[in-house]
Amino acid sequence: MNIKYRPLKAFLLAVDTGSFTHAANQLGVTQPSFTALIQDLEEVLGLRLFERTTRSISLTSAGQDFYARVQRPIADLEEAYRSLADLAAVRRGSVALGALPSTALALLPAAVGTLSRAHPALKIRVVEAHNDELMAMLRTNQIEFAVGALAEPVSDLSFTPMAEDCFCAIFPAGHPLGDAPGMLHWRDVLRYDLVLLSQGSNARQQFDRAVRDEVGAPVTALRYDVTNMGTAASMVRQGLGVSVLPRLALPELNLAGLRAAPLCDASARRYIGLLHRRDRSLSPAAQALVAELEIAMENIARQLLPLPPLAGAA
């Protein structure tokens, strides 16, 4: 037995309106087409559903029994369709994303704010964490996607670059680094006491790799190990040392009295992008949020320091 949705809907409308004419108008078809839908349904069922006269219609006993049985399932089916349509249109649903502290600071407020205003019923959960933690949460489905960095490709995660970033030396106005000729390198920063972000952060991981691989680099004079980029900037302002912070976050930090200079070493570069599981597709809500993040990235790119030429580049 092959019963299609449209004849069932025609049947329910006919019962609810008490008229083939009114039901045909609601369904958006001509009355002959509507009558054909009812006849097709009766032929499939092998039963007469309506007693029809030129002026009225009424249900047969079989029609009454059929109406009682199909009314609720069809209503449930239509509700399921509406629910999925709302998800597809991002009118409801939920999305959980993770972000590095620098991307959370620079991109998330604008992107999440815009999407929330457009779709107030949408639930958005944000997790701010280090890069290794973000990848672990992706693998265990705690978040749907993340805005982070990826030093080396991994087989189970997809990475889509959004922008190239670099790390910058942060120092007080009048500091000797400001008078250094040419472009700044890691080795220039390593001569001074340092205020660095804590172990586990992407900035610290990249710094440690660069120092490890830097030929002839002096011993690092780490004095302060902090969690928050704002704390690092405040400590630099007090003359406690030099910091290294991601260029992407600088427009959102209070750098009054400070200077920022991009480092030109290749090891001071990174790509910021979208991370998600290769075996999962992003939901419509996640796709909508990704679109807002891309707009936010374009907007903040106009405020960033120019990327310096790479050391040794022709």
Residue pLDDT, tens place only, 42-63: 888 888 999 887 778 889 988 8
* Domain co-membership, 66 together with 109: no
* Domain co-membership, 85 together with 112: no
252: its two tokens? 């959102």
Distances (CA, A) of 113 to 32, 122, 178, 196, 288: 52, 11, 37, 30, 12
Number of domains in the chain: 3
Residue 314 lies inside a defined structural domain of this protein = no
Summarised one tens digit per residue, pLDDT across range 130-148 is 999 999 999 999 999 999 9
* Domain co-membership, 70 together with 212: no
Residue 308 lies inside a defined structural domain of this protein = no
Domain carrying residue 131:
95-161+272-302
Low-confidence ranges of the chain (pLDDT < 70): 1, 78-92, 214-221, 312-314
Residue 241: CATH number of its domain: 3.40.190.10
DSSP states of 242-308: EEEEEGGGGGGS--TTEEEEEB-SGGGEEEEEEEEETT-PPPHHHHHHHHHHHHHHHHHHTTSPPPP
Residue 224 lies inside a defined structural domain of this protein = yes
Residue 312 lies inside a defined structural domain of this protein = no
* Structure-token match 């586990």, residue found: 200
Q: What is the value of pTM for the model shown? A: 0.70
For residue 171, the one-letter residue type is: F
- Last-in-domain residue among 89, 117, 143: 89
Q: Cβ(157)–Cβ(135) under 8 Å?
A: yes
